[in-house]
Chain A
């Protein structure tokens, strides 16, 4: 009955839905706290809810969490910067020149099929255990979504508008600045949305493989030491940071589109 929504009393529907959400959440939290924990039967493998809350409270290891988070976000940011710049430049080049596109696009597709995480060991050999290797990995991982969406944006530019501008004597540079580039904002943002998520993910993945600081490192330390309350606390912090990053991209898109001159 749902796919074709019926007129139903809005208040009652909302009450049922919010009630359902509240009940399910309460049951989940209660189960987490009171069920005998442990997939393998030992109490250490799933931390109790109150332990996780305590690890997130003022007595938690906030110093450790935040230092690690700063490292990871730094890697994600600088890596994304590199991936973004390279992706936009290459995307415009491949989008504008047919011969370049035909020559290079198959390789771009093939490289995209390679899981970027697999490059991590090589970046460690090149750049060592510090932030640099993770920045390189993030750059490589975030490049392709931006490249592909930028290229598609160039290819989808309205030919009619370009022809009209040419007829009115616009130069190539003018066409680029006035017609092609403004049309790229939306596709670039949709690539950026994917790449921001990927940047965070790639930074953590790189740290899990080999690093000397960051979220991936403390996650492994907590796991090794069976400090699972802290482990889960970090995971919950990651959820919040992930949501914040996604929100940030949306806000940025909104901000940019607001300020774009209307055609």
Chain B
């Protein structure tokens, strides 16, 4: 910030001296090092500190498992086999639930955005459902749909549905009124206005909503597994380890779950976001 004040006097000779220093920091390698070093240092220090404290004060593995124990569990063949199987089961339910729930949610959101009467009639119901902690429906879902995959993905779909509706509705409400009016003036019909103007400008908002939906779908699948005793998946695995008081294995499952979450919520969605942005950019 202080550079701004120094700038005018040094404008001419500035070019030479700071250039090499800058190029390291702003070069790709320097940038990566600058971004990666602090978190790596913190992570390493944290793991070492926990390990030291645990061995120094002889803290039981039930309270906090030592990082070495977690690594040992994560390397064992049995764990890898169980976790691979369970991760797939959980993610299958998450994905089916996400597609069904978020898909129908976006459709309903569009319908509500386009039709005033639908919006007015359905909005109170959406608000009422939105304020119900939907986790509370898990026991009823289990009663209706049994303890298998159907119950898991239906519950995931229900959790994924509402964020998609709300985000879609909000995204369409931010479409610039003036652009729609201009399109009307140029004789665009309703379909053209929707496809050419409303949809492209609503897409970023819808994608953010879908990101929330995806996170909720994962929560739904896991809660479904917690509630339904024979549903399999990471939720069941957590409960199994919990009953065996195998805390190191539980933490290992949490690490896997965290990686799954990062993969689907952050990485997958940054790809989707970039993709949709490019697609709608070119259609404009």
Residue numbers of A with Cβ under 8 A of B are 1-5, 13, 16-17, 20-21, 24, 39-40, 45, 99, 102-107, 109-111, 113-115, 117-122, 124-126, 159, 163, 197, 200-201, 204-205, 208-209, 215-216, 219-220, 222-223, 228, 231, 234-235, 238-239, 242-243, 245-246
Contact of A113 among B226, B245, B253, B258 (CB under 8 A): B258
Q: Does B124 contact A (CB under 8 A)?
A: yes
- Report how far A126 CA is from B59 CA in the complex, Å: 13
Task: Tell me if B138 and A3 are in contact (CB < 8 A).
Answer: no
Task: Tell me if B121 and A111 are in contact (CB < 8 A).
Answer: no
Q: How far is the CB of B125 from chain A (nearest CB, A)?
A: 9
Task: Tell me if B245 and A125 are in contact (CB < 8 A).
Answer: yes
Q: With A3-B193, A119-B254 in contact, do A219 and B116 touch (Cβ < 8 Å)?
A: no
Instruction: Collect the chain A residues with CB atoms within 8 Å of residue B226's CB.
Output: 117, 120, 205, 208-209
Task: Tell me if B258 and A125 are in contact (CB < 8 A).
Answer: no
Q: With A110-B258, A163-B1 in contact, do A118 and B138 touch (Cβ < 8 Å)?
A: no
Q: Which residue of chain B has the shortest Cβ distance to A105 in the bound complex?
A: B39
Task: Tell me if B242 and A122 are in contact (CB < 8 A).
Answer: yes
- Identify which of residues 160-191 in chain B touch chain A, using a CB-to-CB cut-off of 8 Å: 172, 175, 177, 180-181, 184, 190
Q: Does B271 contact A (CB under 8 A)?
A: no
Q: How far is the CB of A97 from chain B (nearest CB, A)?
A: 11
- Report how far A45 CA is from B116 CA in the complex, Å: 35
Task: Choose, from B7-15, B48-56, B100-108, B126-134, the stretch at the interface.
Answer: B126-134
Q: Does B227 contact A (CB under 8 A)?
A: yes
Contact mask B106-149 → A, CB, 8 Å, 1/0?
00000001111100110010011111111111111011100000
Instruction: Collect the chain A residues with CB atoms within 8 Å of residue B253's CB.
Output: 118
Contact of B42 among A104, A109, A113, A200 (CB under 8 A): A104
Residue numbers of B with Cβ under 8 A of A are 1, 35, 38-39, 41-43, 62-63, 113-117, 120-121, 124, 127-140, 142-144, 172, 175, 177, 180-181, 184, 190, 193, 198, 215, 218-219, 222-223, 226-227, 234-235, 238-239, 241-242, 245, 247, 250-251, 253-254, 257-258, 261-262, 265-266
Q: With A40-B144, A99-B38 in contact, do A201 and B133 touch (Cβ < 8 Å)?
A: yes
Task: Tell me if A235 and B137 are in contact (CB < 8 A).
Answer: yes
Q: Which residue of chain A has the shortest Cβ distance to B2 in the bound complex?
A: A163
Contact of A106 among B39, B62, B184 (CB under 8 A): B39
Contact of A102 among B39, B142, B245 (CB under 8 A): B39
Q: Which residue of chain A has the shortest Cβ distance to B198 in the bound complex?
A: A3
- Report how far A202 CA is from B121 CA in the complex, Å: 30
Q: How far is the CB of B82 from chain A (nearest CB, A)?
A: 16
Task: Tell me if A113 and B242 are in contact (CB < 8 A).
Answer: no
Task: Tell me if B133 and A238 are in contact (CB < 8 A).
Answer: yes
Task: Tell me if A4 and B139 are in contact (CB < 8 A).
Answer: no
- Report how far A205 CA is from B121 CA in the complex, Å: 31
Task: Tell me if B238 and A1 are in contact (CB < 8 A).
Answer: no
Task: Tell me if B219 and A39 are in contact (CB < 8 A).
Answer: no
Q: With A204-B135, A223-B140 in contact, do A115 and B242 touch (Cβ < 8 Å)?
A: no
In the A-B complex, the 10 residue pairs with the closest CB atoms:
A113-B261, A242-B131, A121-B242, A103-B42, A223-B139, A103-B38, A102-B38, A114-B258, A17-B120, A201-B133
Task: Tell me if A204 and B114 are in contact (CB < 8 A).
Answer: no
Q: How far is the CB of A8 from chain B (nearest CB, A)?
A: 10
Q: Which residue of chain A has the shortest Cβ distance to B247 in the bound complex?
A: A125
Q: Which residue of chain B has the shortest Cβ distance to A160 in the bound complex?
A: B1
Task: Tell me if B116 and A17 are in contact (CB < 8 A).
Answer: yes
Q: Which residue of chain A has the shortest Cβ distance to B37 in the bound complex?
A: A102
Q: With A117-B222, A205-B223, A243-B128 in contact, do A219 and B136 touch (Cβ < 8 Å)?
A: yes
